């Protein structure tokens, strides 16, 4: 199963490279779209080293839909620009999605910040 990764961005130069490095070391068939909403920093230049970059109107939903329309994969994976996937993420996604009773899913999340509120919503 091919996985299509869609990452909406806006001025994410401090996060996007680590995210894309994690994505591009996954195994199997995949494609990566960074859908940029008009960054004025180095987000686009960094992203072009790892992914197909699409310019879009600003707005997370607009950017996600723009990316989804271009995808050729069997599975859509939407990520925030600062998401760090586990090393075996694509393998786990394919395994779970091969079950025809499964329509979607998520990973456990943890925030990389020393903030009481963020720790409270991590799961």
Helix (H) or strand (E) run with residue 36 in it:
strand 30-36
Q: What is the DSSP string of 69-117?
A: HH---SEEEE--TT----TTHHHHHHHHHTSTT----------SS--HH
Q: Is the CATH code 3.40.50.300 the one for domain 3-121?
A: no
Structure pTM?
0.88
- Could you read off the pLDDT of 44-93 as tens digits, one per residue? 999 999 999 999 999 999 999 999 999 999 999 999 999 999 999 999 99
Query: For the chain, what are the domain ranges?
Result: 3-121
Residue 123 pLDDT class (50, 70, 90 cuts):
very low
């Amino acid at each position: 199963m091919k996985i299509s990764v869609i990452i909406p961005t806006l001025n994410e130069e401090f996060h996007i490279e680590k995210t894309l490095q994690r994505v591009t070391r996954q195994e199997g068939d995949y494609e990566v779209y960074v859908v940029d909403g008009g960054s004025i920093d180095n987000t686009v230049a960094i992203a072009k080293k790892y992914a197909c970059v699409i310019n879009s109107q600003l707005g997370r939903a607009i950017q996600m839909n723009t990316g989804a329309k271009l995808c050729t994969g069997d599975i859509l994976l939407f990520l925030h620009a600062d998401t760090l996937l586990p090393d075996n993420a694509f393998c786990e996604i394919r395994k779970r999605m091969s079950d025809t009773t499964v329509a979607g899913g998520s990973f456990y999340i943890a925030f990389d910040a020393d903030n009481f509120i963020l720790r409270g919503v991590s799961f």
